[in-house]
Amino acid sequence: QRVHRIAVIPGDGIGTEVMPEGLRVLQAAAERFGIGLAFDHFDFACWPYYERHGQMLPDDWRERIGGHDAIFFGAVGWPAKIPDHVSLWGSLLQFRRAFDQYVNLRPARLMPGVRSPLVRRDGTPRAPGEIDMLIVRENTEGEYSSIGGRMFEGTERELVVQETVMTRHGVDRVLRYAFELARSRPRKHLTSATKSNGIAITMPYWDERVRAMAAAYPDVQVDQYHIDILTAHFVQRPEAFDVVVASNLFGDILSDLAPACTGTIGIAPSANLNPERRYPSLFEPVHGSAPDIAGRGIANPIGQIWSGALMLDFLGYRQAHDAIVRAIEVVLDPANGGPRTPDLGGHARTADVGRAVADALRHGA
């Protein structure tokens, strides 16, 4: 049996609370489907490590996790102790770049028993599955660039610049991934988000590459929007979207907005993919370390658990992925009276939800 080596990095805050539940469910899936998983735990990429070492990662971090089959990540950031740009550029954003994880795939789906805060114009609520989109976020360039700087510091002429970088290679590869994904879905619909009226060099370039790529995918229906009005459409008719592709920053914003439209960001998963598998891909919830609720054992672990399902899918275990998602649906379905964390209106604790999903998975949901 092939054994997949998984690097486990819980990180900060609720990352350390949801990670054990993600692992619990992966373990249950491994047993049920006979998948070989070996977990290596790492204590870097968090504030306690920084406090001891003065940096977020050991110097040899690439050697230590670069040979793994995947990275299972919690969340990083503890702004009370360390500025976010230091902790994030010192860890997660390094992983995404060094391992060329240029696709950040973020599904958002209305699950059974989770109410969308959005009500249709006619007053009726939306049914499970009615909102079902896949956000494809460019994950290695764009607005998240390290080209720029600060000049004349402390003077009246103080100036800061940070350039947006789009390469043909970088834009085309993420668009190709998004078009292929759209082609594989029943609706075959792709939406691209830019801001080409105001940001008049990079954004029109992205649009141009979308049009060029679309020519190779005549079966995919393409819509292009400016990001500002697209956020309004997400709120007014979220069911209209299928695959949504966007630059690094716009994809980041849309991928908090979309799960909020489906009830809570606590359940949203993500896959930072190197589709060519030259490097390990990284799987993590969309949410952060949530300092406001950290340490209380009430974080929703479903985002972490679902991210584990995406990891198994990427490793080739589609059935195990589907079974985990079904187990999540069973636990969320009010008909089953399962535990719910406070973000879903319940009183359950993180571990109650993790155990319930693992049980539902074992009992063949």
Binding positions for ligand IPM, rule: CB under 6 A: 77, 88, 93, 252, 286, 288
Least separation, in Å, of the C-beta of 77 and ligand IPM? 6
Which phi-psi region, left, alpha or beta, contains residue 34 (left: φ > 0; alpha: ψ -120 to 50)? left
Local structure of residue 126 (DSSP, 8 states) = P
For residues 70 and 320, which CB has a smaller minimum distance to ligand IPM in the complex? 70
Least separation, in Å, of the C-beta of 265 and ligand IPM? 10
For residues 10 and 77, which CB has a smaller minimum distance to ligand IPM in the complex? 77
**Span 193-252, contacts to Mn ion by CB under 5 A:** 252
Which of helix, strand or coil describes residue 284?
strand
Does 297 bind ligand NAD (CB under 6 A)? Our answer is no
Q: Which of 247, 255, 272, 289 binds ligand NAD (CB under 6 A)?
A: 289
| CA 81 to chain centroid | 25
Least separation, in Å, of the C-beta of 107 and ligand NAD? 16
Specify the length of the chain in residues.
365
Does 343 bind ligand NAD (CB under 6 A)? Our answer is yes
Binds 23, which of ligand IPM, Mn ion, ligand NAD, none (CB < 5 to 8 A, cut-off by type)?
A: none
Give the Cβ contact number of residue 18 at 10 Å: 31
Q: Site map for Mn ion, 242-281, x if CB under 5 A?
A: ----------x-----------------------------
99: CB partners within 8 A, 6+ apart: 66, 71, 272, 274, 279, 280, 281, 282
For residues 117 and 316, which CB has a smaller minimum distance to ligand NAD in the complex? 117
Q: Which of 10, 107, 263, 266 binds ligand NAD (CB under 6 A)?
A: 266
Binds 113, which of ligand IPM, Mn ion, ligand NAD, none (CB < 5 to 8 A, cut-off by type)?
A: none
Least separation, in Å, of the C-beta of 49 and ligand IPM? 17
d(CA 290, CA 164): 28
Q: Which helix (H) or strand (E) holds 160?
A: strand 159-162
Does 83 bind ligand NAD (CB under 6 A)? Our answer is no
Does 143 bind Mn ion (CB under 5 A)? Our answer is no
| Angle of helix 318-332 versus helix 15-33 axis, rounded to 10 | 120
Measured at the alpha carbon of residue 244, what is the angle toward residues 139 and 215, in degrees to the nearest 5? Answer: 95
Binding-site residue total for Mn ion (CB under 5 A)?
Answer: 1
d(CA 2, CA 37): 9
Query: Which candidate, 121, 59, 28, places its Cα nearest to that of 308?
Result: 28
For residues 334 and 345, which CB has a smaller minimum distance to ligand NAD in the complex? 345
Binds 71, which of Mn ion, ligand IPM, ligand NAD, none (CB < 5 to 8 A, cut-off by type)?
A: none
Token duo for residue 57: 């990662």
Query: Would you tell me which residues interact with Mn ion (CB under 5 A)?
Result: 252
